[in-house]
Amino acid sequence: MLSLSEKKGGSSMNVKILNEKSIPNLPWQDRPADCQDVIWRYKANPIIKRNILPTSNSVFNSAVVPFEGGFAGVFRVDDKERNMQLHAGFSKDGMNWDIQPERIQFETDIPEMAEFQYGYDPRVCFIEDRYYITWCNAYGWHPTIGVGYTFDFKTFHQLENAYLPFNRNGVLFPRRIGGNYMMFSRPSDSGHTPFGDIYISQSPDMTYWGKHRHVMGPSKGWESTKIGAGPTPIETDRGWLIFYHGVLTSCNGFVYSFSAALLDKDEPWKVLKRGRSYLISPQELYECVGDVPNVTFPCANLVDADTGRIAIYYGCADTCTGLCFTTVDTVMDWLDHNSQV
Protein backbone atom coordinates (compact mmCIF):
# COMPACT_ATOMS: atom_id res chain seq x y z
CA MET A 1 0.00 0.00 0.00
CA LEU A 2 1.26 3.44 -0.85
CA SER A 3 1.21 5.80 2.10
CA LEU A 4 -0.52 9.14 1.71
CA SER A 5 2.74 11.04 1.37
CA GLU A 6 3.91 8.71 -1.42
CA LYS A 7 0.64 9.07 -3.33
CA LYS A 8 0.43 12.81 -3.04
CA GLY A 9 4.11 13.57 -3.41
CA GLY A 10 4.27 14.33 0.29
CA SER A 11 1.67 17.09 0.38
CA SER A 12 -0.18 15.65 3.37
CA MET A 13 1.96 13.85 5.86
CA ASN A 14 0.32 12.25 8.88
CA VAL A 15 3.40 12.40 11.04
CA LYS A 16 4.96 15.79 11.66
CA ILE A 17 8.74 15.97 11.24
CA LEU A 18 10.45 18.38 13.62
CA ASN A 19 13.69 20.32 13.18
CA GLU A 20 14.58 18.93 9.74
CA LYS A 21 15.22 21.05 6.65
CA SER A 22 13.82 20.89 3.11
CA ILE A 23 16.08 18.86 0.86
CA PRO A 24 14.53 19.35 -2.59
CA ASN A 25 17.41 17.43 -4.21
CA LEU A 26 17.18 14.47 -1.80
CA PRO A 27 18.26 11.35 -3.72
CA TRP A 28 15.06 9.48 -4.48
CA GLN A 29 13.44 6.74 -6.50
CA ASP A 30 9.73 5.83 -6.21
CA ARG A 31 8.80 2.45 -4.82
CA PRO A 32 8.51 0.01 -7.74
CA ALA A 33 4.85 -0.83 -8.52
CA ASP A 34 5.39 -4.52 -7.79
CA CYS A 35 7.17 -3.93 -4.43
CA GLN A 36 5.37 -4.22 -1.08
CA ASP A 37 8.42 -3.52 1.05
CA VAL A 38 8.50 -0.76 3.67
CA ILE A 39 12.05 0.14 2.57
CA TRP A 40 13.06 -0.32 -1.06
CA ARG A 41 16.52 -0.35 -2.63
CA TYR A 42 17.89 2.04 -5.23
CA LYS A 43 17.87 0.19 -8.55
CA ALA A 44 21.43 1.19 -9.48
CA ASN A 45 22.97 0.01 -6.17
CA PRO A 46 25.69 0.01 -5.08
CA ILE A 47 26.16 3.77 -5.45
CA ILE A 48 29.77 3.66 -4.24
CA LYS A 49 31.89 0.81 -5.52
CA ARG A 50 34.81 -0.65 -3.60
CA ASN A 51 37.46 0.68 -5.97
CA ILE A 52 36.24 4.29 -6.26
CA LEU A 53 39.78 5.32 -5.22
CA PRO A 54 42.89 3.70 -6.70
CA THR A 55 43.94 2.93 -3.12
CA SER A 56 40.60 1.65 -1.77
CA ASN A 57 39.88 -1.97 -0.96
CA SER A 58 36.33 -1.08 0.14
CA VAL A 59 34.08 1.93 0.94
CA PHE A 60 31.12 1.20 3.20
CA ASN A 61 29.41 2.04 6.57
CA SER A 62 29.61 5.76 5.78
CA ALA A 63 27.74 8.94 6.74
CA VAL A 64 26.38 11.82 4.65
CA VAL A 65 24.57 15.11 5.38
CA PRO A 66 23.15 18.01 3.32
CA PHE A 67 25.92 20.57 2.78
CA GLU A 68 25.99 23.86 0.85
CA GLY A 69 23.11 22.93 -1.47
CA GLY A 70 24.60 19.50 -2.13
CA PHE A 71 25.93 16.82 0.20
CA ALA A 72 29.09 16.04 2.15
CA GLY A 73 30.12 13.00 4.10
CA VAL A 74 32.67 11.02 6.03
CA PHE A 75 33.42 7.64 4.49
CA ARG A 76 34.91 4.46 5.83
CA VAL A 77 37.67 3.63 3.40
CA ASP A 78 39.69 0.49 4.04
CA ASP A 79 42.81 0.74 1.92
CA LYS A 80 44.70 -2.01 0.14
CA GLU A 81 46.98 -2.48 3.15
CA ARG A 82 43.67 -2.99 4.99
CA ASN A 83 44.07 0.08 7.19
CA MET A 84 40.63 1.32 8.32
CA GLN A 85 40.45 5.07 7.72
CA LEU A 86 38.05 8.00 7.35
CA HIS A 87 37.87 10.15 4.21
CA ALA A 88 35.78 13.24 3.47
CA GLY A 89 33.64 13.32 0.33
CA PHE A 90 31.35 15.66 -1.59
CA SER A 91 28.42 15.19 -3.96
CA LYS A 92 25.94 17.37 -5.83
CA ASP A 93 23.19 14.74 -6.00
CA GLY A 94 23.93 12.38 -3.09
CA MET A 95 24.54 9.51 -5.49
CA ASN A 96 27.75 10.35 -7.36
CA TRP A 97 30.52 10.94 -4.86
CA ASP A 98 33.88 12.59 -5.05
CA ILE A 99 35.88 11.02 -2.24
CA GLN A 100 39.07 12.72 -1.16
CA PRO A 101 42.13 10.56 -1.87
CA GLU A 102 43.81 11.40 1.45
CA ARG A 103 42.41 10.35 4.80
CA ILE A 104 41.09 12.93 7.27
CA GLN A 105 43.85 14.26 9.53
CA PHE A 106 42.16 15.50 12.69
CA GLU A 107 43.62 18.57 14.38
CA THR A 108 43.70 18.38 18.17
CA ASP A 109 45.38 20.03 21.12
CA ILE A 110 45.01 16.84 23.17
CA PRO A 111 48.33 14.97 22.79
CA GLU A 112 46.77 11.61 23.76
CA MET A 113 44.33 11.91 20.85
CA ALA A 114 46.94 12.89 18.30
CA GLU A 115 48.01 9.44 17.08
CA PHE A 116 45.55 8.00 14.60
CA GLN A 117 45.59 4.20 14.72
CA TYR A 118 42.34 3.24 13.00
CA GLY A 119 38.86 4.65 12.55
CA TYR A 120 35.70 3.10 11.16
CA ASP A 121 31.90 3.27 10.90
CA PRO A 122 31.58 7.11 11.06
CA ARG A 123 28.36 8.99 11.74
CA VAL A 124 27.86 12.71 11.03
CA CYS A 125 25.33 14.85 12.88
CA PHE A 126 24.68 18.59 12.56
CA ILE A 127 24.14 20.10 16.02
CA GLU A 128 23.73 23.82 16.64
CA ASP A 129 26.49 25.27 14.46
CA ARG A 130 28.72 22.44 13.27
CA TYR A 131 28.92 18.90 11.96
CA TYR A 132 29.96 16.43 14.64
CA ILE A 133 31.60 13.17 13.65
CA THR A 134 31.53 10.09 15.86
CA TRP A 135 33.31 6.92 14.86
CA CYS A 136 34.83 3.75 16.19
CA ASN A 137 38.29 5.04 17.17
CA ALA A 138 41.28 3.04 18.33
CA TYR A 139 42.73 4.01 21.70
CA GLY A 140 45.73 1.80 22.45
CA TRP A 141 44.49 -0.24 19.47
CA HIS A 142 41.22 -0.92 21.31
CA PRO A 143 37.92 0.35 19.91
CA THR A 144 35.98 3.17 21.57
CA ILE A 145 33.98 6.18 20.35
CA GLY A 146 35.96 9.06 18.86
CA VAL A 147 34.35 12.51 18.69
CA GLY A 148 35.28 15.38 16.37
CA TYR A 149 33.73 18.22 14.45
CA THR A 150 34.05 20.23 11.27
CA PHE A 151 32.46 23.31 9.79
CA ASP A 152 33.53 22.77 6.20
CA PHE A 153 34.59 19.09 5.73
CA LYS A 154 38.11 20.38 5.05
CA THR A 155 39.46 20.99 8.54
CA PHE A 156 38.51 18.47 11.22
CA HIS A 157 38.98 18.88 14.98
CA GLN A 158 39.20 15.99 17.40
CA LEU A 159 37.89 16.03 20.99
CA GLU A 160 38.29 13.44 23.74
CA ASN A 161 37.04 9.91 23.17
CA ALA A 162 33.58 9.61 24.70
CA TYR A 163 34.12 6.37 26.61
CA LEU A 164 36.65 3.77 27.70
CA PRO A 165 37.25 0.86 25.34
CA PHE A 166 35.47 -1.27 24.36
CA ASN A 167 32.64 0.50 22.61
CA ARG A 168 31.20 0.92 19.10
CA ASN A 169 28.30 2.51 17.23
CA GLY A 170 28.36 6.00 18.78
CA VAL A 171 25.44 7.95 17.32
CA LEU A 172 24.57 11.52 18.37
CA PHE A 173 21.09 13.05 18.58
CA PRO A 174 20.71 16.24 16.50
CA ARG A 175 19.85 18.46 19.48
CA ARG A 176 20.29 18.65 23.22
CA ILE A 177 17.55 17.09 25.34
CA GLY A 178 17.04 18.48 28.85
CA GLY A 179 20.16 20.62 28.30
CA ASN A 180 22.50 17.72 27.44
CA TYR A 181 23.93 16.23 24.26
CA MET A 182 22.78 12.64 23.87
CA MET A 183 24.64 9.71 22.31
CA PHE A 184 23.79 6.08 21.66
CA SER A 185 26.58 3.58 22.07
CA ARG A 186 27.08 -0.16 22.18
CA PRO A 187 29.54 -1.41 24.83
CA SER A 188 31.36 -4.42 23.42
CA ASP A 189 34.51 -6.50 23.70
CA SER A 190 37.82 -6.55 21.86
CA GLY A 191 36.75 -8.89 19.08
CA HIS A 192 33.74 -9.65 16.94
CA THR A 193 31.52 -9.21 19.97
CA PRO A 194 28.89 -11.94 20.40
CA PHE A 195 26.60 -9.66 22.50
CA GLY A 196 25.50 -6.04 22.52
CA ASP A 197 22.77 -3.68 23.73
CA ILE A 198 22.05 -0.05 22.81
CA TYR A 199 22.62 2.52 25.59
CA ILE A 200 22.19 6.31 25.73
CA SER A 201 24.65 8.60 27.55
CA GLN A 202 24.41 12.33 28.18
CA SER A 203 26.96 15.14 28.18
CA PRO A 204 26.82 18.86 29.02
CA ASP A 205 29.92 19.62 26.92
CA MET A 206 30.74 16.77 24.46
CA THR A 207 33.60 15.70 26.75
CA TYR A 208 32.14 14.19 29.91
CA TRP A 209 29.53 11.47 29.27
CA GLY A 210 27.30 10.00 31.97
CA LYS A 211 23.71 9.35 33.08
CA HIS A 212 23.94 6.09 31.10
CA ARG A 213 20.59 4.50 30.33
CA HIS A 214 19.74 1.16 28.75
CA VAL A 215 17.59 1.49 25.62
CA MET A 216 17.16 -2.03 24.28
CA GLY A 217 18.90 -5.36 23.90
CA PRO A 218 18.84 -8.26 21.45
CA SER A 219 15.51 -9.92 20.84
CA LYS A 220 14.25 -12.72 18.68
CA GLY A 221 15.52 -14.18 15.41
CA TRP A 222 17.04 -11.56 13.13
CA GLU A 223 18.36 -9.51 16.10
CA SER A 224 19.05 -12.31 18.57
CA THR A 225 22.85 -11.89 18.94
CA LYS A 226 23.40 -8.11 19.23
CA ILE A 227 22.04 -4.77 18.11
CA GLY A 228 23.52 -1.31 17.48
CA ALA A 229 22.39 2.20 16.62
CA GLY A 230 22.48 3.27 12.98
CA PRO A 231 21.82 6.71 11.47
CA THR A 232 21.08 10.00 13.30
CA PRO A 233 17.61 9.82 14.98
CA ILE A 234 14.75 11.60 13.19
CA GLU A 235 12.59 13.83 15.42
CA THR A 236 8.82 13.63 14.91
CA ASP A 237 5.80 14.78 16.88
CA ARG A 238 5.41 11.16 18.04
CA GLY A 239 8.99 10.64 19.20
CA TRP A 240 12.42 9.80 17.78
CA LEU A 241 12.31 7.51 14.76
CA ILE A 242 15.47 5.40 14.49
CA PHE A 243 16.87 2.73 12.22
CA TYR A 244 19.16 0.22 13.95
CA HIS A 245 21.00 -2.95 13.00
CA GLY A 246 20.42 -6.39 14.46
CA VAL A 247 22.62 -9.46 14.16
CA LEU A 248 21.75 -13.15 13.96
CA THR A 249 24.34 -15.91 14.31
CA SER A 250 23.87 -18.53 11.63
CA CYS A 251 25.88 -21.72 11.16
CA ASN A 252 27.90 -19.67 8.66
CA GLY A 253 28.52 -16.55 10.80
CA PHE A 254 26.85 -13.23 11.56
CA VAL A 255 23.96 -11.83 9.46
CA TYR A 256 23.42 -8.04 9.76
CA SER A 257 19.90 -6.71 9.01
CA PHE A 258 18.15 -3.52 10.05
CA SER A 259 14.78 -2.28 11.22
CA ALA A 260 13.10 0.70 12.90
CA ALA A 261 11.96 1.77 16.37
CA LEU A 262 10.29 4.78 17.96
CA LEU A 263 11.69 6.31 21.17
CA ASP A 264 10.20 8.76 23.65
CA LYS A 265 10.80 12.41 22.72
CA ASP A 266 12.06 13.58 26.14
CA GLU A 267 13.40 10.32 27.57
CA PRO A 268 14.66 8.51 24.47
CA TRP A 269 15.79 5.47 26.43
CA LYS A 270 12.08 4.59 26.63
CA VAL A 271 11.10 2.44 23.64
CA LEU A 272 7.57 3.19 22.36
CA LYS A 273 7.61 0.90 19.35
CA ARG A 274 10.06 -1.65 17.98
CA GLY A 275 9.80 -3.44 14.66
CA ARG A 276 8.86 -7.08 14.91
CA SER A 277 10.94 -8.05 11.85
CA TYR A 278 13.80 -6.65 9.81
CA LEU A 279 13.05 -4.15 7.05
CA ILE A 280 16.20 -4.81 5.03
CA SER A 281 18.28 -7.97 5.28
CA PRO A 282 21.13 -9.11 3.03
CA GLN A 283 19.42 -10.48 -0.07
CA GLU A 284 20.97 -8.77 -3.09
CA LEU A 285 24.26 -10.13 -4.41
CA TYR A 286 26.23 -7.02 -3.35
CA GLU A 287 24.89 -7.47 0.22
CA CYS A 288 25.57 -11.21 0.36
CA VAL A 289 28.98 -11.36 -1.31
CA GLY A 290 32.03 -9.31 -0.34
CA ASP A 291 34.76 -9.09 2.26
CA VAL A 292 32.22 -9.92 4.99
CA PRO A 293 29.20 -11.68 3.49
CA ASN A 294 25.62 -10.96 4.58
CA VAL A 295 25.92 -7.45 6.00
CA THR A 296 23.51 -4.51 5.59
CA PHE A 297 24.69 -1.76 7.96
CA PRO A 298 22.96 1.69 7.92
CA CYS A 299 24.99 4.71 9.10
CA ALA A 300 23.10 7.74 7.69
CA ASN A 301 19.68 8.98 6.71
CA LEU A 302 18.65 12.13 4.84
CA VAL A 303 15.12 13.37 5.54
CA ASP A 304 13.18 15.92 3.51
CA ALA A 305 10.96 17.94 5.87
CA ASP A 306 8.53 18.81 3.04
CA THR A 307 7.72 15.32 1.79
CA GLY A 308 8.83 13.02 4.62
CA ARG A 309 11.03 11.15 2.17
CA ILE A 310 13.98 9.32 3.70
CA ALA A 311 17.14 8.15 1.91
CA ILE A 312 19.20 5.65 3.95
CA TYR A 313 22.89 4.99 3.22
CA TYR A 314 24.07 1.54 4.23
CA GLY A 315 27.20 -0.54 3.99
CA CYS A 316 26.91 -3.72 1.93
CA ALA A 317 28.98 -6.82 2.80
CA ASP A 318 31.72 -4.58 4.29
CA THR A 319 32.63 -3.79 0.68
CA CYS A 320 30.51 -1.09 -0.98
CA THR A 321 27.77 1.44 -0.19
CA GLY A 322 24.07 1.18 -1.02
CA LEU A 323 21.10 3.50 -0.89
CA CYS A 324 17.48 2.68 -0.03
CA PHE A 325 14.31 4.67 0.46
CA THR A 326 11.15 5.00 2.51
CA THR A 327 9.01 7.78 4.00
CA VAL A 328 8.35 8.76 7.59
CA ASP A 329 4.65 7.91 7.22
CA THR A 330 5.40 4.52 5.65
CA VAL A 331 7.71 3.44 8.50
CA MET A 332 5.49 4.87 11.22
CA ASP A 333 2.42 3.14 9.79
CA TRP A 334 4.35 -0.15 9.69
CA LEU A 335 5.50 0.32 13.31
CA ASP A 336 1.88 1.01 14.35
CA HIS A 337 0.92 -2.44 13.06
CA ASN A 338 4.11 -4.44 13.61
CA SER A 339 5.54 -3.42 16.97
CA GLN A 340 6.72 -5.98 19.50
CA VAL A 341 7.07 -3.70 22.55
Closest approach, Cβ 164 to ligand BMA, in A, equals 18
Q: What is the DSSP letter of 151?
A: S
Binds ligand BMA (CB under 6 A): choice among 26, 88, 279, 295: 295
For position 199 contacting ligand BMA by CB under 6 A, the verdict is no
Is 256 a binder of ligand BMA (CB under 6 A)? yes
Task: Considering the complex, state which of residue 179 and residue 191 has its C-beta at the smaller distance from ligand BMA.
Answer: 191
Q: Which of residues 10 and 119 has its CB atom nearest to ligand BMA in the complex?
A: 119
First-last CA distance in the chain: 24
Q: Which stretch binds ligand BMA (CB under 6 A): 9-17, 35-43, 258-266, 290-298?
A: 290-298
Pick the closer one to ligand BMA by CB: 43 or 141: 141
31 versus 87: smaller Cβ distance to ligand BMA: 87
Cα–Cα dist 107/96, whole Å: 28
Q: How far apart are CA 250 and CA 295, in angstroms?
A: 13
User: Footprint of ligand BMA on residues 3-62 (CB under 6 A)?
Assistant: 61
Rounded distance between C-alpha atoms, residue 128 and residue 43, angstroms: 35
Binding mask 137-176 for ligand BMA (x = CB under 6 A): ----------------------------------------
Nearest-approach distance from CB 137 to ligand BMA, in angstroms: 13
Q: What DSSP string runs through 276-308?
A: SS-SB-S-SHHHHSSSSSSBEEEEEEEE-TTT-
Residue 119: strand pairing partners: 137
Q: For residue 94, which of 189, 182, 26, 181 has the smallest C-alpha distance?
A: 26
Cβ-based neighbours of 180, under 8 Å, separated by 6 or more: 202, 203, 204, 211
Binding interface with ligand BMA (CB under 6 A): 61, 120-121, 192, 256, 292, 295, 297, 315, 318
